[in-house]
A and B are shown apart, each in its own frame.
Chain A
Amino acid sequence: MSNRSLDLKSQEEMLKKERKANNAWNKLKRNKTAMIGLVIVVIMTLMALFSPLIAPSDPNELSLSEVHLKPGEKGHIFGTDEYGRDLFSRIIYGSRISIIVAVGGTIVGGIIGILLGLIAGFKGGIVDSIIMRLMDGMFAFPFVLLSIVLMTVLGSGTKNLILAIGIANVPSYARIVRGQVHVVKNEEYCNAVRALGASDNRLLFSHILPNIISPIIVYATLNVAGAIISEASLSFLGLGIKPPTASWGNILRAGKDCLNTAPHVATISGLFILITVLGFNLLGDGIRDVLDPKMKR
């Protein structure tokens, strides 16, 4: 008898160990590229959160005698821009805008898209057709063009930029979610849950949604990277964040005009965009490897 209970105990412990090893976080920790991505993302996020503490000077402080200083000159780590503003401070404050817009846009697009996808996939029939044809219509526009139209309609500003990037992202979420709902809703456990008396809402939000959440998380992480680029491109085109507020896209746009005389402005802001996008992409790939065992190489 004691032997048996001992057996059960050790079994329990083994199960716990296995659960711990298979825990998503522990799996992610073993994935080196994902960890590099995570470190980049964390650094950028901290930079955005604590910009005032890190930045050596006011990002908007003009100093017309120190225009286009090279990196390192007169104590400016990244040099200065065309108005003599400290580039390092501007990059740090810019990270704030870029990351808020990217994450905000992803969240807005995600929430709307997920809801539409859930409804379309679950209801089927006419509702499905109407929603998905609408999404197809939005898909027909190139992403940047759609954002430009939205920005022109909404007007510039951080909130509107978030909204525009969000709305432009809705169709991809809706499509992914709808496809996943179609797969999951025909699983036997959905039938079983209904047979046990669960309402449609409960089935949809507490059983179907949790079962399809991993592809959504993966897509959302990769989507943040895309949204950073969208913000940069819109600001580059003069439709996003208006100067003098610093954003990476803005700085890049200003740097474009002085590529010959002060190449460091465009180079440094471009590099930050590149590294952050790379970070989110690596992290997203890593999360996919962890959550979807079939994708493992």
Chain B
Amino acid sequence: MSDSIISVKDLKTYFYLSTGIVKAVDGVSFTLSKGETMGIVGESGSGKSVTASSIMRLIQKPIGKIVNGEIIFEGKDILKMKNKELLDLRGKDISMIFQDPMTSLDPVYKIGQQIIEVIKVHQNVSKEKAKKIAIEALEMVGIPEAESRMNAYPHEFSGGMRQRVMIAMAIVCNPKLIIADEPTTALDVTVQAQVLDLLKDLQKKMGTSILIITHNLGVIWDMCDTVMVMYAGKTVEYAKTATLYEQPLHPYTWGLLDSMPKLSQDTEKPLKAIKGTPPDLKLTGNACNFHNRCPYAQEICKNKAPELIEIEEGHFAACHFQTKDKKLKRKEEV
């Protein structure tokens, strides 16, 4: 294993609302190695995006607050950085690709101006040089006629093209880590594949680490080396992608896998789903968050939160019934 680029330890991000404290991220830890891709998967509201925003320190103040943990990026704790260091970090060392390309570009500026702005903020180069770098970046992400497209406004681009522009803006300063927050969710299927291929290509060329946040397990199998499954603000399972695919351990992961439609499936039968809804994040803490939806739940699940333990080497899960000695058997049909 190569050395780590970013390592998150016991991250807790809470939102203080008038109705109570929402524990959006409640003790998440992971490590991402150089040049590797990690996926965070989970349903809506499981804390995936908040984890990403926490890494960038983009949590909305004063409601949201990172209450605990450390995020070590290249030996430095991001959570202890001063404002100026943060501005340097964002866009240069770590950059982010957002979910909705339709709204992620400033509508009043031309594409070229926006990319050049990023370059000028982080690199001390002349205007001509910045323009050249910008055109190169646009060509790299596969935008034809890059030079004349520099003068186009965002509304003159399609969604897929805009996402390419966003990616160009993210890679223009050769970041060491790219966080992609559901980069393909707002795109149609063919464009999704193109964008994912583009990300893979760029990673090969530049050796960047990528953190992908998605609720699409297909994207995970396609892209990631390791994967973390999140549920209600907590990590429920964390393993190499191949391991998780072949040998998932947590009942929630089983549920997720079962709910993926398969080609061989009987089309007469309805698609499978996990019954119930995720818990209110204001009330979590003293029980297994999944206990009310889990077909294997017992008394202990209601009274004690399970800890994330290493069950096999590099394979972590948080379930009372999955330990080194005792293993829960997955029921074939529930």
Contacts and interface: CB of A to CB of B under 8 A. Distances in A.
B104 interface: yes
Contact of B96 (A12, A195, A206): A195
Given A195-B95, A197-B121, A189 B106 contact: yes
A194 B58 contact: yes
Interface stretch (B82-90, B208-216, B231-239): B82-90
Contacts of B144: 8
B145 interface: yes
Nearest to A197: B91
Nearest to A187: B103
Interface in A167-225: 187-189, 191-199, 202, 206-207, 210-211
Contact of B58 (A187, A191, A211): A191
B217 to A, nearest CB: 25
A18 to B, nearest CB: 9
B126 interface: no
A195 B91 contact: yes
A130 interface: no
Contact of A15 (B87, B122, B152): B152
Interface string B54-92: 001010001000000000000000000000000111111
Contacts of B170: 196
Contacts of B92: 197
B122 A197 contact: yes
A125 to B, nearest CB: 6
Nearest to B166: A192
Contact of B105 (A192, A194, A198, A210): A192
Contact of A196 (B90, B99, B107, B145): B90
A189 B121 contact: no
Contact of B108 (A125, A197, A211): A211
A82 B148 CA distance: 67
B100 A188 contact: yes
B156 interface: yes
Contact of A12 (B103, B122, B148): B148
A188 B162 CA distance: 13
Could you say which interface size class chain B belongs to?
Answer: 20 to 34
Contacts of B117: 198, 206
A197 B94 CA distance: 9
Interface centre among B92, B108, B169 (most CB of A within 10 A): B108
A198 B121 contact: yes
Contact of B104 (A188, A197, A199, A211): A188
Nearest to A5: B145
Could you say which interface size class chain A belongs to?
Answer: 20 to 34
Contacts of B56: 195
Interface centre among A8, A189, A195, A211 (most CB of B within 10 A): A195
A195 B52 CA distance: 11
A187 B122 CA distance: 23
Nearest to A18: B156
A8 B146 CA distance: 12
Contact of A194 (B88, B90, B109, B169): B90
A196 B91 contact: yes
A215 to B, nearest CB: 14
B95 A196 contact: yes
Nearest to A214: B108
A189 B96 CA distance: 12
B96 A192 contact: yes
Contacts of B122: 197
B90 A197 contact: yes
Contacts of B152: 15
A191 B97 CA distance: 11
Contacts of B145: 8, 12
Nearest to A206: B117
A197 B109 CA distance: 17
Contacts of A196: 90-91, 95-96, 118, 121, 169-170
Contacts of B106: 189, 193, 207, 211
Given A12-B148, A15-B152, A195-B91, 20 more contacts: A8-B144, A125-B62, A187-B103, A189-B104, A191-B104, A192-B104, A192-B105, A195-B58, A195-B95, A195-B98, A196-B91, A196-B95, A196-B169, A197-B88, A197-B89, A197-B92, A197-B118, A197-B122, A202-B121, A206-B117
Interface of A: 8, 12, 15, 125, 187-189, 191-199, 202, 206-207, 210-211
14 contacts: A188-B103, A188-B104, A189-B104, A196-B90, A196-B96, A196-B170, A197-B89, A197-B91, A197-B92, A197-B121, A206-B117, A210-B109, A211-B106, A211-B108
